[in-house]
Amino acid sequence: RSASAYGGLQETPRTVLIPLTSLVPSTEYHYRLAAKNQTGVFFGADAVLRTSR
């Protein structure tokens, strides 16, 4: 599933905080960020997180 958040009108790096719910223990999740502006949509690299037991 995807979540979205407004990042504002900035040209500097921003910290993005999105709450994660209903994660399954001992599971690997892949995610990446996307940013959209008047030029198009840009995707970050794939990242991984693994939940604890």
Residue 51 backbone dihedrals phi, psi, to 5 degrees = -75, 155
CB-CB contact of 13 with 35 (8 Å): no
What is the per-residue pLDDT across 37-46, written as a single tens digit (0 to 9) for each?
889 999 999 9
Q: Is residue 1 part of a domain?
A: no
C-alpha–C-alpha distance, residues 31 and 13, integer Å: 18
Q: Is residue 2 part of a domain?
A: no
pLDDT tier at 18 (50, 70, 90 boundaries)? confident
Q: Is residue 12 part of a domain?
A: yes
Is the pLDDT confidence value at 19 over 80?
Answer: yes
Domain containing 44 equals 7-53
Q: Is residue 17 part of a domain?
A: yes
Total structural domains in the chain? Answer: 1
Q: SS3 string of 5-51? A: CCCCCCCCCCCCCCCCCCCCCCCEEEECCEEEECCEEEECCCEEEEC
Q: Model-level pTM? A: 0.70
Q: Is residue 11 part of a domain?
A: yes
- CATH no. for residue 19? 2.60.40
